Amino acid sequence: MSSTMNSTTNLPIARLSRLAINEEGFVFDPQTGESFTVNSSGGMIIHSLAKGMSTEQTAEALVDNFGIKLHDAHNDVRDFVDQLRFTKLM
């Protein structure tokens, strides 16, 4: 089974794009039936990566929306992507 890759970051995004996320941060994976919650920055990271944004663009979006430092945003995105990989969502 192949998955669509983000050409900028080489991250597999096909599964992310299938996740359903509501405004409260409830995430449902229709492939497995599993659900979990994320905070607003986690939701933004998932949405951004699923749209094909690079991790750099995603970090910049966090800076713009949450007023955090770019270094912290990069760390947040990296850590969140690591968690997505650990849970096999990427």
CATH number at residue 59: 1.10.10
Asked whether residue 1 is assigned to any structural domain, the reply reads: no
Asked whether residue 45 is assigned to any structural domain, the reply reads: yes
Asked whether residue 70 is assigned to any structural domain, the reply reads: yes
Asked whether residue 34 is assigned to any structural domain, the reply reads: yes
Q: How confident is the model at residue 8 (pLDDT cuts 50, 70, 90)?
A: very low
> Which domain does 71 fall in, by range?
9-86
For 26-64, the pLDDT digits (tens) are 999 998 899 999 999 999 999 999 999 999 999 999 999
Asked whether residue 27 is assigned to any structural domain, the reply reads: yes
Give me the DSSP letters along the chain.
----EETTTTEE-HHHHH-EE-TT-EEE-TTT--EEE--HHHHHHHHHHHTT--HHHHHHHHHHHH---HHHHHHHHHHHHHHHHHTT--
For the question of whether the overall pTM of this predicted structure is more than 0.85, the answer is no
Asked whether residue 2 is assigned to any structural domain, the reply reads: no
